Structure 1
């Protein structure tokens, strides 16, 4: 009981300090769990060597003593983020994305609605590869400058990138679906077929949300349809100049095709899984700097200029190892799992599925994914089966909480997104919940209607 209380206090303090801007994201991720790790060491048989071992496992890798399976820590996505941010900063500087931004400006004709619709549809297509980090990298690089030049809200950009990821992470090759399938013994293809109606309904909502954001931005920026018809070519040129004339001394139009081919090659190799993303972007960064800037003094200057952009989200990613390492290694994660299991009384019987789905939402945000599926879902599914709920129905119920997974502080790529868009992490969380909470109920309603969630 003490461990559960400490886990809840740790999560609550983490949220409070970030919301009140009392600590930076790195400070909150490192210092808050460290404080509770020390408390656990003092009140249990664990020692400080154990505490640092928990953090080490979460940062680097952990070997399962029974199976010998290796679980990579946050250093893997953290290094990917570090070199990816550096690489795309260089590409933004040299002007690789200028034609894309100019294309959207011309097509949108200053219409925020067309931009928000393009954002959500692009994110939907890109996230089909099942990788959160890759989707955020590509979509941020493609749309960030456009949103800035049109003075559109960055929170809209962040939500419209993340919402489709939360939906399509449930594809058969996505991490949550694989974990749920393995933990509950439901074949991946069967689970995906069951999830598909809810995913499609949620995607329709997300497209509608993009439309709503576009209409809001039209109003805020005093834009109307007539403006598009009567738009002066000089206004479009002025908007285009905001892209063309940004840091002209850094642009390298003569190397445009080299930069494009290099970027496409890296993305292809990344999606194909030929090599780790950190290696690909490290090679790409070295090649891009060498070809575009030649002189050692210029290259050194560019590295120093972009280091700040890359270091912030990378450090936050590494800091997440302290949060997830202490939460898991100390037993707080398993304690929370047991506590959540006990919250569902057996007397509810066949009505356990929707209640379980409701409880799973916050659990899936703050617990490591495997801790949730193998610690909570596996236990509760056995109880549910005893009340006539099938393994597939139990698996579907366990996936409904995925509607909020993409605000989790243990997802490193989110720090890159919030740093790029200059958003406070808690501000992003609150706005995501504010606009995307209907996705949870869409899942509940759709799965109830098709008989996959007994009410």
Structure 2
């Protein structure tokens, strides 16, 4: 009975999300509560929900303050010199422009917010792509491929989702992904180089300094933003603060949540001493931070009810009967492969909140750890980010005026390489076992 109830709960959630009948926040709360009441748990649901929320609270708070921190850093213009430098180096050469796109997207994307990265990169480079005759689909594809990699930072969506639902430390999960991420970022830069050479040959521009001044000025003007909130005189101080936070995060000097709470407070105090300015900065980035954080906490409600009612355990037991003998130990690889269509077709919310908890419970019976399942489920993220259920993709296609389907087809063939890199490095380092 519990297994049937659990599967119905997950299916209902998936249907409502995919059909866009409810938001992830609403579905993650209302659906499990209804099925919990149907299961006869009634007044027991309160403590179950609270346990789930308490488990996801650290991850939710990490994402909240990380988004605020990087939003403030972008406001101060921390990344502006990098953007301008890359643009100046490009000097109108299609090859350098495309490689520069990959480098900028890879660095700015570390803020974990795909929409912000898209705005910065596309605003800086789109006028140049148009001026030089470079296909805008290249700009869209290179940008989204890099975001699909950098979104795996602890304050990004995928890691936060799977960490919250499996009650894992997002920073520990991130550290296992770092080697694959580094190689993948370099791989996309090489992809950009290959594409850039083809574009240079197609356009017939063999003199990279042709019309250098006009093109550089156009590029630079595209990157100019509101100078009132910029803090160029504090750029080095902001850079040092960011580096210290990143180092402390990787070396575990302080809990990740504490690091970004302190970092946000220090950043506000240094850059915007006025109370009015501080309030404006927080208010600007609060909607984005709150929307993501609320989903993380709602996921705690879903996971808490699914686990504490024993539905997930019953579902796992029922799945064992249909899993062929000898396949159980290979579940991480199976999940890695399934993450491609799973993330692309049903989206990250449905995949991580609806499917992964059940798979993880089943895998534990075969001795496969939650960490292995979490790692494997992240390998298809590059495909997930180009999926039709990711809102940032529509921002990208709107800004570049490129068809969504065209971007998906163009980027998918290169995303396969990212997936294979993750698999090879994951198996080599023992993060997932064969």
Post-superposition CA distance 1:36-79 (Å, at most 9, x none): 123213311222662x55554444x23xxxxxxxx644431232
Give 1:28 shift.
1.2
Q: Which residue of 2 aligns with 1:236?
A: 216
Q: Figure out how many residues of one structure are paired with residues of the other and give that number.
A: 381
Q: Which residue of 2 aligns with 1:385?
A: none
Post-superposition CA distance 1:146-178 (Å, at most 9, x none): 431221645642431332665x99xxxx999x9
Q: Is the 8 A contact 1:270 1:276 kept in 2?
A: no
Please tell me whether residue 377 in structure 1 is matched to residue 363 in structure 2. Answer: yes
Q: Is the 8 A contact 1:81 1:314 kept in 2?
A: no
Q: Which residue of 1 aligns with 2:40?
A: 45
Q: Which residue of 2 aligns with 1:31?
A: 26
Give 1:261 shift.
0.9
Change (3 A) 1:40 1:216: farther
1:325 to 290, 301, 315: 301
Q: Which residue of 2 aligns with 1:10?
A: 13
C-alpha distance in 2 between matches for 1:237 and 1:355: 50
Q: Is the 8 A contact 1:41 1:47 kept in 2?
A: yes
C-alpha distance in 2 between matches for 1:358 and 1:43: 35
1:247 to 215, 218, 226: 226
Give 1:144 shift.
4.8
2:234 to 239, 244, 258: 258
Please tell me whether residue 344 in structure 1 is matched to residue 327 in structure 2. Answer: no
C-alpha distance in 2 between matches for 1:446 and 1:90: 36
Q: Which segments of 5 or more consecutive residues in structure 2 lack a partner in the other structure? A: 127-135
C-alpha distance in 2 between matches for 1:200 and 1:439: 11
C-alpha distance in 1 between matches for 2:374 and 2:25: 29
Q: Which moved more, 1:347-356 or 1:102-111?
A: 347-356
TM-score where L is the length of structure 1: 0.62
Give 1:405 shift.
4.8
Q: Which residue of 2 aligns with 1:226?
A: 206
Change (3 A) 1:360 1:207: same
Q: Is the 8 A contact 1:112 1:217 kept in 2?
A: yes
Instruction: Please list, as runs of the form range in 1=range in 2, the aligned pairs for 1:421-436 lying within 5 A after superposition.
Output: 435-436=414-415
Q: Is the 8 A contact 2:383 2:415 kept in 1?
A: no
Give 1:233 shift.
1.0
Q: Is the 8 A contact 1:360 1:398 kept in 2?
A: no
Give 1:310 shift.
3.7
C-alpha distance in 1 between matches for 2:427 and 2:263: 44
1:279 to 253, 262, 269: 262
Please tell me whether residue 303 in structure 1 is matched to residue 283 in structure 2. Answer: no
1:108 to 86, 90, 102: 90
Q: Is the 8 A contact 2:299 2:353 kept in 1?
A: no
C-alpha distance in 2 between matches for 1:117 and 1:210: 5
Question: Over aligned residues, Cα RMSD in angstroms?
Answer: 5.3
Change (3 A) 1:9 1:217: farther
SS of residue paired to 1:285: helix
Q: Is the 8 A contact 1:122 1:139 kept in 2?
A: no
SS of residue paired to 1:377: helix
Q: Which segments of 5 or more consecutive residues in structure 1 lack a partner in the other structure? A: 63-70, 128-133, 383-390
Give 1:201 shift.
7.4
TM-score where L is the length of structure 2: 0.64
Instruction: Please list, as runs of the form range in 1=range in 2, the aligned pairs for 1:101-180 lying within 5 A after superposition.
Output: 101-111=83-93, 113-118=95-100, 120=102, 135-137=110-112, 144-151=119-126, 153=139, 156-163=142-149
Post-superposition CA distance 1:75-111 (Å, at most 9, x none): 312321342244124313xxx4332222111111245
Give 1:236 shift.
1.3
